[in-house]
Amino acid sequence: MENNKEEEIQKIDTVKQKILNYSKELKQLSLEAVYSKLRDIKDNINQKYSFLFKEFKDIKLGCFVSFYINDNLRGCIGTIEPVFDNLILEIINNSISAAFKDPRFESISLKEYPYLKNKIDFIINIEKINDISKLNPKEYGIIVKKGDKKGVLLPDIPTINTIEKQLEITFNKAGLKYNKENLFKENEIYRFQVIRI
């Protein structure tokens, strides 16, 4: 069992290193996925970034893509667990969703595109918890589940610096009532970490 844990940590470290080594290219890929959609250009990305497809072909992770204009959030959508065949497809699809399908915002326009900045969070180390002392909004994101309702909040958001606030917001996102007393009685709570670029 210990061996497996160590192997898992080693695997995550290797993936983390690879993501950090290619962080510039991965972020550029995300932006160009949006541009290709805006311009209705097909297949350009697959050819241009074939080296990334090769490099990440066996890596699957959920990820969240966030877009900003002048430091203001302009769209954020992602997957907690991988939905696509590899990390590159996950980034492309989540980038397009964040730019055009976030219900809180209008779709990103061609006029806005030159001002677009992005951040990508790759989800790692998801684990169920039964004690809020295991949370830390700087280090861990959280997932709250009850039935078919689910809320997710990424870690290290500048305006969220208490566990209480992190839980309240996540429950709210899930459409659930936050009740400190019955926190673990009726809900499943998970924490996770991210590799952020």
Q: Are residues 9 and 103 in the same domain?
A: yes
Q: Are residues 137 and 97 in the same domain?
A: no
- DSSP labels, 28-87: HHHHHHHHHHHHT--SHHHHHTHHHHHHTTT----EEEEEEETTEEEEEEE-SS--SSSH
Q: What is the pLDDT of residues 20-65, one digit of tens each?
A: 999 999 999 999 999 999 998 877 788 889 999 999 999 999 999 9
In the listed set 123, 138, 172, which residue is the last one of a domain according to the structure? 123
Under the banding of pLDDT at 50, 70 and 90, the label for residue 3 is: low
Which phi and psi (to 5°) does residue 147 adopt?
60, -125
- The reply to whether 114 and 153 lie within a common domain is no
27 φ, ψ to 5°?
-70, -35
Give the count of domains, the chain.
Answer: 2
104/135 Cα distance (integer angstroms): 27
Token couple for 94: 């989540």
Alpha carbons 140 and 154: distance in angstroms, whole number:
7
- The answer to pTM > 0.85 is yes
Give the C-alpha separation, 150 to 170, whole Å.
9
Does pLDDT of 121 surpass 50?
yes
pLDDT of residue 1: 43
Say if residue 162 is in the same domain as residue 70: no
CATH at residue 68: 3.30.700.20
194 and 17 Cβ atoms separated by less than 8 Å: no
Residues 82 and 27 both lie in one domain: yes
Tell me how far apart the alpha carbons of residues 54 and 52 are, in angstroms, rounded to a whole number. 5
Out of 123, 156, 179, pick the residue that ends a domain. 123
37 plus 116 within the same structural domain:
yes
| Domain match, 78 and 147 both | no
Q: Among positive and negative, which fits the CA dihedral 194, 89, 66, 132?
A: negative
* Whether residue 72 has pLDDT greater than 50: yes
Rounded to whole angstroms, the Cα distance separating 154 from 93 reads: 19
Question: Which of 123, 143, 177 finishes a domain?
Answer: 123
Owning domain of residue 154: 130-196
